[in-house]
Amino acid sequence: MGFFERVQQFFREVLGEFRRVSWPSRAEVANSTVVVLAVVVILAVFLAAVDMGLSWIVERVLRWG
């Protein structure tokens, strides 16, 4: 079996697997997107607060020494 035949077989198998996939509905994708964005915003705010707090601590320690 030559290279091009193997490539064609690979893509036929990929298409066959895509047909068997259980794809989510538009509503499920929208809900998941909202959840991901909310978690990202919450984590960004938390990490920003931790960063500012640690920066404040380091600044105080450096001024003290």
Domain membership flag for residue 53: yes
- Domain membership of residue 45 (yes or no) is yes
Q: What is the pTM of this model?
A: 0.67
pLDDT at 1: 80
Whether residue 64 is contained in a domain is answered as yes
Indicate whether 9 belongs to any domain.
no
- Mean of per-residue pLDDT scores for the chain: 95
For residue 14, is it within any domain?
Answer: no
Tell me if 41 is assigned to some domain: yes
Per the structure, the count of domains in the chain is 1
Residue-range definition of the domain harbouring residue 33:
25-65
Assigned domain for 3 exists: no
pLDDT, position 65: 67
| Residue 2 main-chain phi, psi, to 5 deg | -80, 175
Distance, in Å, from the CA atom of 17 to the CA atom of 39, rounded to the nearest integer, reads 32
**Residue 10 domain-assigned?**
no
With a pLDDT cut of 90, the percent of the chain lying above it is 95
